[in-house]
Amino acid sequence: MKKFYLIIIILIIALNIQSCKNKEEIIYQKEIILNNNLWTKNDIIKFNFNINDTSKIYLCLIKIKIDTNYNYNKFIFSTTLKTPDGSYRQSGFETNINEDYKQKSIDKEEGVMIIEKEIYNNVKFKEKGEYEIGVIHNLPQDIFNVKSVEMKVIEKSGEQK
Confidence bin at 160 (pLDDT 50/70/90)? very low
Residue 3: is its pLDDT beyond 80? no
Query: Are 153 and 58 a contacting pair, CB within 8 Å?
Result: yes
Q: What is the CA radius of gyration of the chain?
A: 20
Q: What is the pLDDT of residue 110?
A: 83
Q: What is the pLDDT of residue 1?
A: 67
* Mean pLDDT for the stretch of residues 96-124: 87
Q: What is the pLDDT of residue 68?
A: 86
- Taken in order of first residue, the domains within the chain and their CATH numbers are 24-156 (2.60.120.260)
Contacts of 53 (CB under 8 A, 6+ apart): 128, 155
Q: What is the pLDDT of residue 104?
A: 83
User: In terms of Cα–Cα distance, which of 115, 106, 28, 34 is closest to 77?
Assistant: 115
